Amino acid sequence: PDRARDPFASPAQRLRATLDLYKFTGEGGGLVDWAAAQSGLADPLSRFNRHELEDYYRMFEKNLRKHLSQVVRDANNVPASELVQIAKSAPPAAQRALQKLHRPR
């Protein structure tokens, strides 16, 4: 989505927008909500079957993880207190994704 990639938005704004994308899930109503938001269709199941949506969602998740990694790198000049506030206000799945990014390998 444009908000997460907007070159004119601040790194903090892009981080917030990216983390907000973690509100979607790949199951049940969350999958349909995600597909509706992505496609602009009121009923995405009228055009795509559930298996197609699940495949597209898996690609979305992969791209989202990669994008989050880049956005976090871009946010290195954002004050730590603001980063903490952004992380705390993020959906639980986004908080888990941030934790995974910062785990030592």
In tens, the pLDDT along 68-98 reads: 999 999 999 999 999 999 999 999 999 999 9
For residue 64, is it within any domain? yes
The answer on pLDDT for 105 being more than 70 is no
Domain span including residue 73: 11-101
In tens, the pLDDT along 41-66 reads: 999 999 999 999 999 999 999 999 99
Whole-number mean pLDDT of the chain? 95
pTM: 0.90
For residue 24, is it within any domain? yes
d(CA 15, CA 71): 6
For residue 1, is it within any domain? no
